[in-house]
Homo-oligomer: A and B are copies of this chain.
């Protein structure tokens, strides 16, 4: 994994590939590598859909190894949604396969002169780029079926649906899971639109003939991996909560805490929460049975296994088990308490290639604008169909909540840096509010998941309703997350890492044993800071200031029930998050 593949889609005569050594980027992986390339090579004021922007796809430092949880793929670019730097990451199989093929990153540059659509095939023999306009407007599920017919069953696909082709700012990039379904997505920030602008429909990866990556010290690596896995299994969140109910275990917890944003962030509790909770979801899935409904992972090497399959009443596949953020975005945020409708919306998101969070927040804003009523599940499905078809209304919605709010003159639009807020109200979970406001990514829960200490009492305890302690909490988590996002490891390991120093040490030992390094905890912190600094540097050159590190004003002026709180972290304190 020491080479970088560059694909120039704007080359005269058609796409041209060059493969080079990782060079100056050595030692970086995942988000560390994507952010270094974007920050170092992309002109900050370029148009996100133009030839000067780059799309960087990078597995993590441990992807493709026998290490557990190492299947995350980072995708970086200048975001069409935020206008700033973006790293969106995804589970699925592609990171492992790409790493085994030896690539630290694929960097897609330039832009074709016409609207020809290309597919890229990469295996041990090299790279083949072929125009294939027959793929145009194929939804992701159909596309993957076509790729299976053409390339067989042992592939992994990275693809866009119609939304990406239409260059919508909510367009995601899909990654296939272990069952070769396009259910895992680099969702946020419109990365799919950039892939669409580059004219690439799908990257098909086949690692046949390539072995597992081998560690510098295989024995030490194996032993550290075992300690790491044991640690994950013994922690209540990673060993019990997530496997039993998936991420949707959070619905009842956040609702109980009064931090479950309901009706476009109007209240913190939803009457219909129990109808869409993880517990109800798991019970429904169990009742409906069918092969594969059991809890399982999204990539080989996952030991948390928070995923599953969602069938309809007749036992037909509807979608993968919808995640908490999706159930919230399409559910409580829109006043919808029908799990089957939510599953249908999740499938549509995956199939058209859209970020479920952005789409749910957008539909909430459309409801606020009066296009349909809160709670209207059929209406929400109709709106999503418009997006898939690319009607004018669909294009508005497919460009996210900020654009939708602007087009319909809505004042209450929950976005930061143009990106929709996820499933935790920043007034009742003030630590996550700090992350939403200050992350270089725009409103992003994963960038510094303060729900841990605020609500779950993982990694300490910080009162969620008060500003005290939230800056330090968000800062530490943002630093740690930037580092973890570079390893290729699933962020969910953080629950165990935060509470169990020996599990953190085991992860460090894995990295050191694999790469022959002697990294300490301080080195991990330094790496996280370095990545955040690169990202903030890019954003500053793109015109972002402290004024962009703010929540929309209504979070300061509208108190939220049941706790009757506003977001009370002071602006001048927000400005200290990166002042380390």
Contact = CB atoms under 8 A, between A and B. Distances in A.
Contacts of A169: 406
Interface in A488-544: 541-544
A193 interface: yes
A547 B169 CA distance: 22
B553 A547 contact: no
B406 A399 contact: yes
Contact of A543 (B403, B408, B548): B548
Interface string A169-187: 1000000000000000000
Contacts of A548: 543
Contacts of A411: 47, 49-50, 197
Contacts of A407: 392, 395-396, 399, 403, 407
A37 interface: no
Interface string A541-559: 1111101101011100000
Contacts of A406: 80, 169, 399, 403
A52 interface: yes
A45 B553 CA distance: 7
Contacts of A392: 391-393, 396, 407
A543 B553 contact: no
Interface in A111-132: none
A44 interface: yes
A87 to B, nearest CB: 21
A554 to B, nearest CB: 8
A409 interface: yes
Given A392-B392, A396-B392, A45 B409 contact: no
A45 B406 CA distance: 15
Contacts of A195: none
A49 B553 CA distance: 12
Interface residues of A, number: 40
A249 interface: no
A167 interface: yes
Interface string A140-170: 0000000000000000000000000011110
Nearest to A43: B553
B49 A409 contact: yes
Contacts of A216: none
Contacts of A399: 406-407
A166 B409 contact: yes
A552 B49 CA distance: 13
Interface in A41-79: 43-47, 49-50, 52
Contacts of A409: 49, 166-168, 193, 196-197
Contacts of A50: 411, 553-554
B166 A45 contact: no
Which of A168, A391, A392, A554 has the largest count of B CB atoms less than 10 A from its CB?
A392
Interface string A184-204: 000000000100110000000
Which 10 interchain pairs have the tightest Cβ spacing? A167-B409, A543-B547, A392-B393, A392-B392, A47-B411, A395-B407, A50-B411, A543-B545, A49-B411, A543-B548
Interface of A: 43-47, 49-50, 52, 80, 166-169, 193, 196-197, 391-393, 395-396, 399, 403, 406-409, 411, 413, 541-545, 547-548, 550, 552-554
Given A50-B411, A193-B409, 11 more contacts: A44-B547, A45-B547, A45-B553, A47-B413, A47-B553, A50-B553, A167-B409, A392-B396, A396-B407, A403-B407, A545-B545
